């Protein structure tokens, strides 16, 4: 009996380590119609489930999803009628994170000194260190970045140039690569507030300790609250 229990515990621990190694993020909220596509299939999911590299999240009307990367560095809120892909890889012992936004809007909050982080639309790449900002990409191919904290380095792919956008400013990049950077308006801030209100849902906060095996072979535990 003791041997069977020991084997069971070993299998559970091994499975946890395997999941932590393969997983890059954790679903922290989901409301309404939210599809999770993995490779070519839509897979069932719930709050607390792991996300793998290249997973795609698609939200419907009046729907919302959010996820946190397993290094505890950042939160991504995915608002209604949006399509994003979750990308991450290990670089210099830190998790390099990228969000690919094909449609809709997201709000990201990133802690500083936690590895590279970028948000990419078909026209622009926003690289950040520690900041908070809203990203929109619409059907006309326009990318909008509303920066509320910190600073963004925006690389405009068509122009092959990089522009800095500090907190309190909004950058708009057109499909042809033309752009403008201006102080954020009340309407810009209202977009964030309305998106936040639409995403609200009452839920009890939960915590999870995730075992992660580092490059040195040692197991470390990262605690995530959602």
The per-residue pLDDT for range 88-107, each reduced to its tens digit, is 988 878 889 999 999 999 99
How many whole angstroms separate alpha carbon 85 and alpha carbon 192?
21
Q: Which of 17-26, 112-121, 133-142 has the lowest mean pLDDT?
A: 17-26
pLDDT at 210: 55
- The two beta strands, 117-120 and 94-110, are parallel
Alpha helices in the chain, H assignment, sequence order? 2-22, 186-199
State the average pLDDT over residues 9-14: 33
- Tell me the per-residue pLDDT of 123-176, one tens digit each, with 9 for 90 and over: 999 998 779 999 999 999 999 999 999 999 999 988 888 999 999 999 999 999
pLDDT at 2: 40
- Nearest alpha-carbon partner for 121 in 169, 177, 189, 165: 177
Q: Which of 69-78, 149-158, 187-196 has the lowest mean pLDDT?
A: 187-196
pLDDT bracket for residue 18 (50, 70, 90): very low
pLDDT bracket for residue 83 (50, 70, 90): very high
pLDDT bracket for residue 226 (50, 70, 90): very low
Checking if the pLDDT of 211 tops 60, the result is: no
Please state, as a whole number, how many other Cβ atoms lie within 10 Å of the Cβ of residue 44. 6
pLDDT at 164: 94
- Nearest alpha-carbon partner for 147 in 110, 113, 112, 175: 110
| Averaged pLDDT of the chain | 82
Planar angle of CA 8, 22, 79, nearest 5 degrees: 120
């Amino acid at each position: 009996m003791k041997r069977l229990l020991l084997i069971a515990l070993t299998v559970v621990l091994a499975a946890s380590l395997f999941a932590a190694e393969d997983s890059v993020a954790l679903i922290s909220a989901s409301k309404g119609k939210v599809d999770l596509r993995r490779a070519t299939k839509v897979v069932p999911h719930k709050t607390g489930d792991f996300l793998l590299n290249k997973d795609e999240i698609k939200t419907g009307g009046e729907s919302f999803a959010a996820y946190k990367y397993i290094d505890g560095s950042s939160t991504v809120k995915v608002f209604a009628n949006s399509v994003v892909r979750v990308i991450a890889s290990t670089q210099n012992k830190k998790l390099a994170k990228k969000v690919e936004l094909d449609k809709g809007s997201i709000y990201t909050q990133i802690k500083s000194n936690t590895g590279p982080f970028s948000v990419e639309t078909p026209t622009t790449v926003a690289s950040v260190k520690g900041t908070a900002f809203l990203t929109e990409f619409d059907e006309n191919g326009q990318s909008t970045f509303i920066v509320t904290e910190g600073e963004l380095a925006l690389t405009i792919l068509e122009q092959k140039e990089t522009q800095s956008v500090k907190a309190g400013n909004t950058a708009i990049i057109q499909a042809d690569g033309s752009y403008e950077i201006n102080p954020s308006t009340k309407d810009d801030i209202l977009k964030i507030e309305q998106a936040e209100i639409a995403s609200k849902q009452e839920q009890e906060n939960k915590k999870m300790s995730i075992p992660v095996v580092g490059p040195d072979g040692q197991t470390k535990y990262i605690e995530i609250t959602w």
